[in-house]
Amino acid sequence: MTDFLRGISFVAWSESGFARPESDYTLSRIIKPMGVTWVAIIPTCFQETITSTQIKCEAKLGSPNDKSLLHAIQYAKSIGLRVMLKPHLDNLDAGHWRGEISMKNDADWQLWFASYTDYITHYAKIAQDSGADYFVVGTELDGTHIRPDDWRKVIQTIRTIYPGPLTYASNHDGGETSVTWWDALDAIGVDAYYPLTGSANPTIDQLKTAWEPQVALLESLSLKWDRPVIFTEAGYQSTDGTNREPWGTSTENGLDLQEQADCYQALIETFGPKGWWQGIFWWGGQVEPTEGGLVNQNFSIYGKPAEDVVRAFYDQAPHPTTTPIPNYIPDESNRLVIYDDALGAGWENWSWATALDLASTENILAGKNAIKVTLTGWTAVSFHHLPVDTTSYEFLEFYIFIKDIQQDKYPHVSAFFFDRTEVPMLYKPDISLPAYVEGGDLTPGAWHQIRIPLAELGIADTDITMLALGHQSNEGVVNFYLDDISLVGAR
């Protein structure tokens, strides 16, 4: 296999183990258009503690069911993506991670490897049956590297089931050098979250200089084992200082879109010319079709400057920054008003744990009133109606004025609907994405029109009962105003 693996990591199911309906949409409409040609699909199984000898793959723990996993793989392949199946093993005891899994004695090691073999060969068979193009035999299990003979047996067993190429995803903190069985595999896999500079605002050149020791290390490994190197994971959050702890999930340092983009650019410029570098799987592609946006501080690159860096590397045009249909003309004869100075006919306020004034005169777009909202973590403003058929409508439209953001946090306000049984539908697009915002930038202190296609909300040609705008974070408080909310057709 000589082609460069233009990849991204992807999890395609809910915490209950079932396939998420937006998974297919995300793969075909969000991930593939970035120029991605490979997707690493990640099922996760669990053991109770770092010394447990039994591995469990159960929906109640968050493992996908096999039907969901097969669907994700086969759908990805049906749209022309190649698939790396990358099983993860996590432990459930807080304060420990998978790299600390280690047994107390030889008898326990034998039990653990027996359970591990059952677990990993189950997924190897799925890889074979589904036509997966690459298989990862393990991920970041640093504490197990002291058992090379056991690992060679595992790999031999996998090869009797799955004849395709194999790698192992070693951790960046010495796991790549403590593996002594790279010769049994087809590539050296590294989850490449290497800390770079000590600065919160490094230049691209400084980042590239910081990569030099790792370049030398990885090149020497490639030469020693005569194997290419694949970054089985790599990525950065859009937070200030992300280059110092790329693996971290803290957003306390605040938003920094440019540092994230610079980290991507530096990695690409550093490793792109290296012939021994065979591919990369960026972390991470979220199943939510519009996870990301200019105020999102997590790993997603969707709708951020880092996406354009990846798109350029993958030979694609930049991400669109205008509304989805620039020439769209609303059909005023086909408009369902949810709010215009007051709630529309049949709509009721069903908001929960939310400070809400439906007749505020403090800040008005037009008319007499607007809705004043204060959202804290995981709360939402919601409006209920008897079932509404959305077949004749194309967009959700509304205006928003973000007043201020408390605790130095950026709002993660998402729009979503409930079905006729009053169960929330799973599409939760962040309203700040440039494609939804008039002018492409949702800045505080001004009214902006938001326009989201119903197809991207998952409610085209179906019945809905409730619209919710929720703060999809447990951090910070966001104060804003809403006006002129409606479902509208197009002509």
Q: How confident is the model over 425-440, as pLDDT tens digits?
A: 766 777 877 778 887 7
At 388-414, the pLDDT tens digits run: 999 999 999 999 998 876 554 556 788
Q: What is the pLDDT of residue 60?
A: 83
Q: 473 pLDDT exceeds 90?
A: no
Q: At what angle do helices 204-225 and 257-271 cross, to 10 degrees?
A: 40
Q: 474 pLDDT exceeds 70?
A: no
- 330 versus 336: the higher-pLDDT residue is 336
**3-class DSSP state for residue 419?**
strand
- What's the half-sphere exposure (Cβ side, CA atoms, 13 Å) at 288? 20
Q: 330 pLDDT exceeds 80?
A: no
Would strands 447-453 and 395-406 be described as parallel, antiparallel, or unpaired?
antiparallel
- Please give the share of the chain, as a percent, with pLDDT higher than 70: 90
Q: What is the pLDDT of residue 381?
A: 95
Q: What is the pLDDT of residue 323?
A: 47
Would strands 277-285 and 463-471 be described as parallel, antiparallel, or unpaired?
unpaired
Q: What is the pLDDT of residue 326?
A: 42
Q: What is the pLDDT of residue 243?
A: 95
- Structural domains of the chain in order of their starting residue, each with its CATH number: 5-313 (3.20.20.80), 330-490 (2.60.120.430)
pTM: 0.78
Q: 176 pLDDT exceeds 60?
A: yes
At 223-278, the pLDDT tens digits run: 999 999 999 999 999 989 999 999 876 666 788 899 999 999 999 999 999 999 99
Q: 174 pLDDT exceeds 80?
A: yes
Q: Which two tokens stand for residue 99?
A: 């790299």
**Strand spans (E) along 21-130:** 38-41, 44-47, 82-85, 88-91
Q: Is 191 exposed, middle or buried (0-12, 13-18, 19+ CB in 10 A)?
A: buried
Q: 8 pLDDT exceeds 70?
A: yes
Where does the pLDDT of residue 337 fall: very low under 50, low under 70, confident under 90, or very high at 90 and above?
very high
Lowest-pLDDT range of 89-93, 259-263, 370-374? 89-93
Q: What is the pLDDT of residue 14?
A: 55
DSSP assignment letter at 33: G
